[in-house]
Amino acid sequence: MNSSLCSLLGIQYPIMQGAFQWLATPELAAAVSNAGGLGTISASLYQTKEELTEAIARAKSLTDKPFCVNISMFPEVVEGEKTWDFIAACCQSQVPVVELSGRDPKPFVEELHGAGAKIIHKSTAVRFAQKAEAAGVDVVSVVGFECGGAPGNDDVTSMVLIPSVASAVHIPVIGGGGVCDGRSYLAMRALGAEGVVIGTRFMATQECAIHPNFKKLLVDSNERATMVVQRSIDFPHRNLKNETTLQVAELEKGNPKLEDIFPYVSGKRQKKCYDSGDTQGGVFPCGEVVGRIHDIPTVQQLINRIVREAEAIAPTLL
């Protein structure tokens, strides 16, 4: 298993861990990187440059392999956001890979490249991937409508979106949305992706810092266990179908304002539930691929399995 992405990013396998909120910790990132993939720390876990710097140092103490820091930005610059502080932390700590999302990456490219970082930009449509390439990023990551979390506003599935982006840009594409094993890895590669990004499947691993109640729920769920909400506030998310998600869906039948929806979907509420094991008290990003999760392996076991399955299946496809 190899691709141009491996040599570009210095990784063994072209498998990237998604930056799911509250769970993309230094410990999980290090486990993914040690297993040959590209682990990811989410900067949204931290409030200051110093906190992110400490998290990066923690990851470096746990792995000598490349890892990524994800910096998710608001669509427009807002007062108090920490983007430049987080960029500075990555540059000063010589983070090998930085993933950006949310708005135009162009203002940050020169500084990150100057510090030796490779830049991935998360895109949800062909037009955004092309803009990111024009801005000078090294890789674009693209996920289809079946993914957990924010799939964008166009509702285009991976089967259509990934090859469309791969044909429209000249830089490597990382594809996601539905990847959990060797078969889905190979499907993404066949669609033109140089690598894959995996979110939901990594939640159901031993190293993921989520309460065991959630891991059991993931294993027990089927492919119909998710739904998309938050369209009314122009920020659609695919979440596990539970009491709170259904409450949000009911609210959205009216004409809700952001302040009506936010108490149900707030990150603080989600974090409290992740820690306590309350699977019904908040909204929780989850992809349709949850229906294909049947166990809770270690990260190393999972990546080894993906590689083994892909290498066994690939010769039979032609």
Confidence of residue 184 (pLDDT cuts 50, 70, 90): very high
pLDDT above 80 (res 116) = yes
CA atoms within 13 A on the CB side of 18: 27
One-letter amino acid identity for 318?
Answer: L
Please give the Cα distance from 77 to 58 (Å, whole number): 29
Please give the Cα distance from 178 to 143 (Å, whole number): 9
Please give the Cα distance from 318 to 304 (Å, whole number): 24
153, two tokens? 């506003």
**Can you give the pLDDT at residue 265?**
94
pLDDT above 80 (res 75) = no
pLDDT above 90 (res 1) = no
Q: What is the pLDDT of residues 222-232, one digit of tens each?
A: 999 999 999 99
pLDDT above 90 (res 318) = no
Percent of all residues in the chain with a pLDDT value above 70, rounded to a whole number: 100
Q: What is the pLDDT of residues 231-289, one digit of tens each?
A: 998 999 999 999 999 999 999 999 899 999 999 999 999 999 999 999 999 999 999 99
**Can you give the pLDDT at residue 74?**
76
What length is written for the chain?
A: 318
One-letter amino acid identity for 303?
Answer: I
The DSSP bridge pattern shows strands 237-240 and 226-229 to be antiparallel
**Can you give the pLDDT at residue 78?**
72
Q: Give the DSSP letter string of the chain.
A: ---HHHHHHT-SSSEEE---TTT--HHHHHHHHHTTSBEEEEGGG-SSHHHHHHHHHHHHHH-SS-EEEEEE--SS--TT--HHHHHHHHHHTT-SEEEEESS--HHHHHHHHHTT-EEEEEESSHHHHHHHHHHT-SEEEEE-TTSSB---SS---HHHHHHHHHHH-SS-EEEESS--SHHHHHHHHHTT-SEEEE-HHHHTSTTS-S-HHHHHHHHH--TTSEEEE-GGGT--EEEE-SHHHHHHHHHTTS---HHHHHHHH-HHHHHHHHHHT-SSSS--B--GGGGG------HHHHHHHHHHHHHHHGGG--
The structural domains of the chain, ordered by start, are 4-208+295-316 (3.20.20.70), 226-285 (no CATH)
pLDDT above 80 (res 79) = no
